[in-house]
Amino acid sequence: MSPSQILFQFLSAVVFRSHRTSGKTATIELGDVTPHNLQQLKRLNQVVFPVSYNDKFYKDILEAGELAKLAYYNDIVVGAVCCRIDVLDGSRRLYIMTLGCLAPYRKRGIGAKMLEHVLNYVEKDGDFHSIFLHVQVNNQSAIDFYKKFGFEIVETKEQYYKRIEPADAHVLMKLLRPQKNLNESEK
C-alpha cells in the first residue's frame, strides 16, 4: 500500500471516530460520480481493491449515470458502486464492476444501501436477466454479503486476476428472470 493510500485510510478512520462519538445519527446517502469528485473515487478504489483501474474505466464511469454512485456517510465519501450493462445471447445482464467501502465503515449498512440501489435499478428497468460480479476466492466476507442478497457462486475462473494472489475469482450471479426456452417462444 502506498503512503497516500495509508494516509487516506488513516484520515477516514479518524473522521469515522469523530462522527461515531459526536452523538449524531449517521446518514448514508448515494450521490452521482462527477468530474469534480472522480479523484475521490480513484483514491477510494486504490485503498479498497487490490487491482488498479485504467483511465478508460473512469471515463466510462462518468457516463454511467445511475450505474455509478458514491456512498456518503455523514457527508464523507466512504464507498462506491460502479456497474455496466452487458448483453450475452440477447439477454441484458448487469455487471457490478466494483462495490466497496472503506474498512472502518463496513458493517454499517453502506454496502447494502449501494447494492439495494443496483437491485432497485434493475427491478425498475424490468429487462435484465441477471446481475453478476467477480469476487476473489479468498474474500469470504464479500461472498457472504452477496449470498444474503440471493447471489450464488456459478463458476470459478482460474487465473482471473493479474499480479494478485490468489488469482482465482468466483463468479457470483443473481438470476432475475429465467432464460426463455426457445421452444416455448416458438409456440
Residues taking part in catalysis? 95, 134
Q: Which residues of 105-138 are buried (b: 16+ CB within 10 A; e: fewer)?
A: beebebbebbbebbbebbeeeeebbbbbbbbbbe
d(CA 93, CA 126): 11
Within 10 Å of residue 94's Cβ, how many Cβ atoms?
A: 22
10 Å CB burial of residue 54 (0-12, 13-18, 19+) is exposed
| Strands across the sheet containing 91-101 | 28-32, 68-73, 76-88, 91-101, 130-136, 169-175, 152-157
Question: Using CA of residue 91, residue 111, residue 65, residue 56, what is the dihedral sign?
Answer: negative
Question: Using CA of residue 43, residue 48, residue 52, residue 57, what is the dihedral sign?
Answer: negative
